[in-house]
Structure 1
Amino acid sequence: MTSAIALKGVVKSFGPTQIIRGVDLDIRQGERHAIIGPNGAGKSTLFHLISGRYTLTGGSVHLKGEEISNLPPYEIYRKGLSRSFQVTNLFPQMSVFENVRCGLMWVKNYRYSFWHLVDRERDLNRRVMEVLEEIGLANRQHVPAGVLTYAEQRALEIGIAAAGGADVIMLDEPTAGMSHSETDQAISLIRKVTEGRTLVMVEHDMGVVFDLADRISVLVYGEIIATDTPENIRNNKAVQEAYLGAEAEHA
């Protein structure tokens, strides 16, 4: 099966401290892949290396067979990889509609060129409304993003990440801080917007992980100790000892 993302010997050090220690990882096209591990394992660092926010100390990253190691994030985005962040990353004073439109402007190559009269761009604005309908925020389109509920803000971020039609969507802690009902809604939304695409996510909620993921990779102290199906990860003794423990038994 073709790889969506392939990591080969990826290393990241900050000064003398090595955070990612020679990670090899193959994420297949069209699968939903979760990366889990204890706090401080290096999960967000690995996300930043794949998406171009951090430069690699060693190794390589490939996206759909093309090396993207150390490319700037906007170039990686243009090649079909989009991501959300662990901390909400919106324009709080701008409306919900404007937040989605800003994301789509990059896809249409506007690059925030203010001489374009974007209000007259019918195709662009139509696509924004399609995204808002998909994520359930069409009736909130004129509301400033900063006054949305936390769950609505996360839904908006997921929508923006998926809006440009990227083949690979990366979500960092998409359900963190949500109630049980909000988490259920987020799972449904993630399923919908990533249908037919590759999903890579970091998530602490094992219920979400076992519900969504086709395969799971376990990162401990900067190394992948296992990659397998949810059922096999649940029953993996080394994984239980290193991370899951009793949580896996009750997820």
Structure 2
Amino acid sequence: MSAAIELRDLRKSFGPTEIIRGVDLQIEKGERHAIIGPNGAGKSTLFHLISGRYNLSGGAVHLHGEDISNLPPYEIYRKGLSRSFQVTNIFPNMSVFENVRCGLMWAKDYKYSFWHLVDREHDLNRKTAQVIEEIGLTSRQHIPAGVLTYAEQRALEIGISAAGGADVIMLDEPTAGMSHSETDQAIELIRKITDGKTLVMVEHDMGVVFDVADRISVLVYGEIIACDTPENIRNSKAVQEAYLGAEAED
């Protein structure tokens, strides 16, 4: 059985500077996998390579055994991989309902076909309402997304990421900027939204990482120096020296 994601000697350079330096990683189906590392380790760059935002300088990315190296992001999305970003990525002037529905329309290959009378797409609207209920925003579904609280906007983005039925969800710093109570709610939402799916996340909050992840990869200067269970990562002297105990963002 093929892994959900497999990275083979993945490399990325910007001019003469090599950012990702030969990453090999296999993430199994249904696994919750966290990628951590100090500032400048290349975590977001790695996310961009997997999701198609950046082209590879070398190596390959496989999704469920299929080579998706250098495919455009929308093609990768339709093959079952969806991702969020560090900075909230929503349409602020559109309602919560319209934001989620747009995500579903794109997944169903509607693109921006204005000849579709979306209000008559009953299945689409029913699925949209279901996603909104799952992320706890039913009472807010008809207001502009831009007036939601920060935590609600992040919940909306997580919902949009999962709305299209992707079986691999990538979350980039999903709890950044949240209070303790908001973080607890976000963890609960992430568990619910990714139940039965493969989760890959970059996260700076070690409490979240150790609470959610089945395995953790530690990226330092573009190379994975450890990949193991949370307990073993916590007890690794090399990891402690490289990262744990230091605040870092990518």
Range class of TM-score, shorter chain:
over 0.9
**Residues 161-210 of structure 1, C-alpha deviations (whole Å, 9 max, x = no match):** 01111010000000000000000000000000000000000000000000
- Supply the distance in 2 between the matched residues of 1:210 and 1:109 (Cα, whole angstroms): 37
Q: Is there any run of 5+ residues in structure 2 with no aligned partner, and where? A: none
Amino acid at match of 1:6: E
| Distance (Å, rounded) in 2 between the aligned partners of 1:183 and 1:155 | 11
- In the alignment, residue 151 of structure 1 is paired with which amino acid? A
1:138 aligns with 2:155: no
Cα distance in 1 for partners of 2:212, 2:220 equals 21
Whether 1:17 and 2:25 are equivalent positions in the alignment is: no
CA deviations on 1:40-91 (whole Å, 9 max, x unpaired) are 1000000000000000000000000000000000000000000000000000
* Counterparts of 2:70 and 2:221, CA distance in 1: 23
Alpha-carbon RMSD across the aligned residues, in angstroms, is 0.9
Distance 1:31 1:238 in 2: 24
Matched, 1:29 2:29: yes
TM-score where L is the length of structure 1: 0.97
Structure 1 moving runs of 4+ over 3 Å: none
Partner residue in 2 for 1:159: 159
Rounded Cα–Cα distance in structure 2 between residues aligned with 1:204 and 1:246: 10
The CA distance in 2 between the partners of 1:220 and 1:2, in whole Å, is: 27
How far apart in 2 are the matches of 1:242 and 1:179?
26
- Letter of the structure 1 residue corresponding to residue 219 of structure 2: L
Alignment size in residue pairs: 247
| Matching of residue 49 in structure 1 with residue 49 in structure 2 | yes
Equivalent residue for 1:190? Answer: 190
Q: Normalization by structure 2: what TM-score? A: 0.97
Question: Which residue in 2 is equivalent to 1:243?
Answer: 243
Alpha-carbon distance between aligned partners in 1 of 2:76 and 2:245, rounded to the nearest angstrom: 36
Residue type of the alignment partner of 2:164: G
Q: Which residue of 1 aligns with 2:179?
A: 179
Q: How far apart in 2 are the matches of 1:14 and 1:101?
A: 36
Shift of 1:106: 1.2
Q: How does 1:1-251 map to 2 (within 5 A)?
A: 2-245=2-245
Q: Sequence identity of aligned pairs in percent? A: 85
What does the per-residue CA deviation read over 1:13-54, in whole Å, with 9 as the maximum and x for residues that have no partner?
A: 000100000000011110000000011100000000000000
Counterpart amino acid of 2:89? N
> How far is 1:2 from its partner?
3.4
Q: For 1:179 and 1:108, locate their aligned partners in 2 and report how far apart those are by CA, in whole Å.
A: 35
- In structure 2, C-alpha distance between the alignment counterparts of 1:244 and 1:207, rounded to whole Å: 11
Distance 2:157 2:245 in 1: 32
Following superposition, the deviation at residue 245 of structure 1 comes to 3.9
In structure 2, the residue corresponding to 1:176 is in which secondary structure?
A: coil
